[in-house]
């Protein structure tokens, strides 16, 4: 909790540049167009937007500290081989979350901004122009939803390989339910992303690929266990 509080106040001091970083995909899509802006429609909207930015940043910054404290709490109660098996997954969790968030920010958002801006229409005879003036709070909600959705989705291989590591599931089970996993990928994408097809497909496809990667990793664990079992049998003889 202390780590989060410290990170929150430190992040709030840099809330404006952090927000500008988050708004960069939109700014780049609008580059060269004079007079474009973002708006706040409430007196306190910008203030509370910066509060949310600070909380978002603090959550990310304090996670390694919180995770290490959790690990130090549970590690003494684990056997040596259990600690050896669990620690890589604890490390992989923030790494995969960062990978998912980076894919959303650097891969999807620039394309999404260009796509959505293509629906603007210029003024014409007898027609009013349609031009985006994004609210600061709504834009933050949009980008945070995407970043967290992709970050959480990239935990799928971590969870599946952990269950494979401890023997709860195996590669045959994963292959058997592959078709259901594909359907679930699109269902999950529809639930946790904004309601546009591009975002949903952009999340569902990596989920399916990560599921396939999980099958491959679990199969590696199975081969490792088979070699260890063969070695024990040979030693017993």
13-66 pLDDT, tens digit each: 999 999 999 999 999 988 888 878 899 999 999 999 999 999 999 998 888 888
Q: What is the pLDDT of residue 237?
A: 65
Residues 147-172 have a mean pLDDT of: 86
Residue 137 lies in a domain: no
Same domain, 160 and 111: no
Same domain, 81 and 172: no
Q: How many whole angstroms separate alpha carbon 204 and alpha carbon 154?
A: 11
130: helix, strand or coil: strand
Please check whether residue 185 is in contact with residue 211, taking contact to mean a CB–CB distance below 8 angstroms: yes
Same domain, 12 and 114: yes
Same domain, 70 and 25: yes
Residues 110-133 have a mean pLDDT of: 83
Q: How many whole angstroms separate alpha carbon 157 and alpha carbon 214?
A: 5
**Last residue in a domain, options 69, 92, 118:** 118
Total domains present in the chain: 2
Residue 200 lies in a domain: yes
Same domain, 94 and 7: yes
DSSP assigned state of 77: G
Query: Could you read off the pLDDT of 175-221 as tens digits, one per residue?
Result: 999 999 999 988 888 887 767 787 788 888 888 998 998 999 888 88
Residue with tokens 């945070």: 144
Residue 138 lies in a domain: no
Please check whether residue 135 is in contact with residue 45, taking contact to mean a CB–CB distance below 8 angstroms: yes
Same domain, 164 and 212: yes
Residue 47 lies in a domain: yes
User: Which class for 145: exposed (0-12), middle (13-18), buried (19 or more C-beta within 10 A)?
Assistant: middle
Range of the domain at 77: 1-30+40-118
Q: Report residue 125's pLDDT band, with 50, 70 and 90 as the boundaries.
A: low
Residue 202 lies in a domain: yes
- Work out the angle at residue 225's Cα, subtended by the Cα atoms of residues 219 and 230, and round it to the nearest 5 degrees: 125
Q: How many helices (H) and strands (E) does the chain have?
A: 11, 0
Same domain, 4 and 86: yes
Q: How many whole angstroms separate alpha carbon 164 and alpha carbon 162?
A: 5
Residue 236 lies in a domain: yes
165: helix, strand or coil: helix
Residue 141 lies in a domain: no
Q: How many whole angstroms separate alpha carbon 191 and alpha carbon 98?
A: 21
For 209, phi then psi, to 5°, come to -65, -40
Residue 126 lies in a domain: no
Is the confidence at residue 86, as pLDDT, over 90? no
Same domain, 23 and 110: yes
DSSP assigned state of 44: T
Q: How many whole angstroms separate alpha carbon 120 and alpha carbon 56?
A: 30
Same domain, 88 and 173: no
């Amino acid at each position: 909790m202390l780590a989060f509080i410290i990170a929150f106040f430190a992040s709030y001091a840099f809330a404006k540049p952090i927000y500008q970083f988050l708004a960069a995909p939109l700014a780049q899509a609008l580059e060269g167009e004079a007079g474009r802006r973002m708006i706040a429609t409430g007196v306190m909207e910008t203030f509370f937007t910066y509060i949310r930015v600070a909380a978002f940043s603090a959550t990310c910054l304090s996670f390694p500290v919180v995770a290490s404290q959790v690990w130090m709490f549970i590690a003494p109660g684990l056997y040596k081989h259990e600690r050896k098996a669990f620690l890589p997954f604890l490390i992989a969790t923030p790494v995969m979350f960062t990978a998912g968030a980076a894919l959303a920010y650097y891969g999807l958002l620039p394309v999404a901004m260009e796509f959505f801006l293509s629906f603007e229409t210029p003024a014409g005879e007898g027609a009013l122009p349609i031009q985006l003036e994004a609210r600061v709070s709504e834009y933050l909600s949009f980008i945070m939803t995407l970043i967290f959705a992709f970050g959480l989705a990239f935990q799928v291989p971590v969870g599946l390989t952990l269950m494979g590591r401890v023997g709860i599931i195996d590669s045959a089970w994963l292959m058997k339910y592959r078709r259901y996993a594909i359907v679930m990928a699109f269902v999950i994408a529809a639930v946790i992303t904004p309601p546009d097809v591009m975002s949903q497909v952009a999340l569902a496809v990596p989920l399916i690929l990560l599921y396939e990667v999980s099958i491959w990793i679990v199969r590696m664990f199975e081969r490792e266990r088979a070699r260890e079992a063969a070695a024990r049998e040979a030693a017993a003889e």
